[in-house]
Amino acid sequence: MPGLVLLLAILGGGSGVISLIIRNLYYICQPNEVLIFAGAQQKLGQKTIGYRLVKGGSSIRKPLVEKALRMDLTNMIIELKVTNAYSKGGIPLQVDGVANIKVAGEEPAIHNAIERLLGKSRKEIEKIAKETLEGNLRGVLASLTPEQVNEDKIAFAKSLLDEAEEDLEKLGLVLDTLQIQNISDNVRYLDSIGRKQQAQLQRDARIAEAKAQAASAIQTAENEKITAVRRIDRDTGIAEAEAERRIQDALTKRGAVVAEVEAEIASELVRFQSDIPVQQERIKQITEQLKADVIAPAEAECKRSIEAAKGDAAQIVEDGKAQAEGTKQLAESWRAAGDNARDIFLLQKLETLLKTLSATVPEVNVQNVTVIDGQTGGTAKQAIAVMEQLKQTTGLDIANVVNNLTNGNSQQLPDGDWRTPDK
């Protein structure tokens, strides 16, 4: 800038000179372009370049040293059309697409654009970019199957962008967008794929519909199950509530019945308690009546019985004493009688004995009668004659019976008769 001031001072400060300088030396850079002043050398990193850049703003060209050039940075629309591009598997494809490309406006790519595209027209730049993209497109198609290219155009375009980015950067170009519009082939391979895919889609649609119907049926069944479970739960709750109500009613009724029974028992208890004094008084009356009607007469009768027993005992004692005295006198008379005492005793008891014996003897037929003279025989002979008569008529041996009775040895025959054992 000091050199420029010196130059103006030399040329003079006239208005005409200033106008000339503005027209020929002063340049304004538009937003969609970059100014390149070629001629003056400057260092760019490790290398030296013969130009300087102005992007936005303005600058003055050094006269006689620099040349001012402009490079357009606006987008370029490039129609891509590739035919007979063989895909993976050998199927020739035709691809139509549209790309948006512009000259790089940022360093360091702009230096590649200046070195390779500066001075070329826009159509020339578009042709270079189209040829580069079509070459990259054929390279990408060679690595993909027709199915991959046709099924996912976005992934295909992204692969093309990745493939072309390095080559375009070397040219100083930037690929903004890339759209694949159409993919076709002359052998109708993609059509068959489409029909296959359509069939698969229809199959998948039918399967999806069947699955949806099955899912709907399952969901319907599940809903019905849930509804049934809820209904059962509701009915169970109602039944439980009803059972609980009945239990409460039963408990209430039981409580009422228990209370009623307890009241009745309490009433009866009160009645019984109130009746106890009456019953006690009645017991006293009955006791007194029993004393008067039973105990007193019984005591009197007991006393009379005791007195009578005492009198009877005295009589028994006196009778015993008299009997003992008689027995004593009888014994003395027996001793005085000597040998005839036994016969005398038998004769005394014979009458009683015979009465007793005859009562037990059935009627008999007398076959033999023996007459004993009472004049000629003594008492013993008379007794012997009588016993002999009994033995003949009844078969009863009085002598043996009496002898056994006196000796304490008796024997009852099977027919009820008493006989003495043979000696």
What domain range includes position 142?
A: 74-187
CB–CB of 415/394 below 8 Å?
no
Identify the domain boundary among 71, 90, 117: 71
- Tokens for 257, please give them: 């019945």
Structure pTM?
A: 0.41
Q: Tell me the average pLDDT across 335-363.
A: 65
Task: Report how far apart the first and last C-alpha atoms of the chain are (Å, whole number).
Answer: 201
Per DSSP, 64 falls in state: T
Any domain includes 292: no
136 belongs to a structural domain: yes
* Domain count along the chain: 3
The reply to whether 374 and 407 lie within a common domain is yes
Condensed to tens digits (0 to 9), the pLDDT of residues 96-148 reads: 888 898 888 888 888 888 888 888 888 999 999 899 888 888 888 888 777 77
Same domain, 93 and 32: no
Same domain (yes/no): 78, 159? yes
Strand 173-184 vs strand 67-72: parallel, antiparallel, or unpaired?
unpaired
94 with 169, same domain: the answer is yes
Residues 138 and 67 occupy one common structural domain: no
373 backbone φψ class: left, alpha, beta (φ>0; ψ -120 to 50):
beta
Domain at 88, CATH number = 3.30.479.30
pLDDT over 50 at 330, yes or no = yes
- Considering 71, 97, 115, which residue would you say is the last residue of a domain? 71
Do 51 and 132 have their domain in common?
Answer: no
Does residue 199 belong to any structural domain of this protein? no
Judge whether 152 lies within some domain.
yes
The total number of residues written for the chain in this structure:
423
User: Are 46 and 80 within one domain?
Assistant: no
**Residue 110 shares a structural domain with residue 166:** yes
Per cent of the chain over pLDDT 90 is 2
CA distance 97 to 140: 14
What does the pLDDT average to over 162-191?
Answer: 79
197 against 3, higher pLDDT: 197
Do 9 and 100 lie in one domain? The reply is no
Least confident span in 43-52, 193-202, 233-242, 335-344 = 193-202
Whole-angstrom distance, CA of residue 34 vs CA of residue 51: 12
- Are residues 84 and 156 both part of a single domain? yes
Rounded to the nearest 5 degrees, what angle is found at the Cα of 51, between the Cα atoms of 47 and 54? 120
- Kindly state the percentage of the chain with pLDDT values over 70: 71
Among 187, 215, 233, where does a domain finish?
187
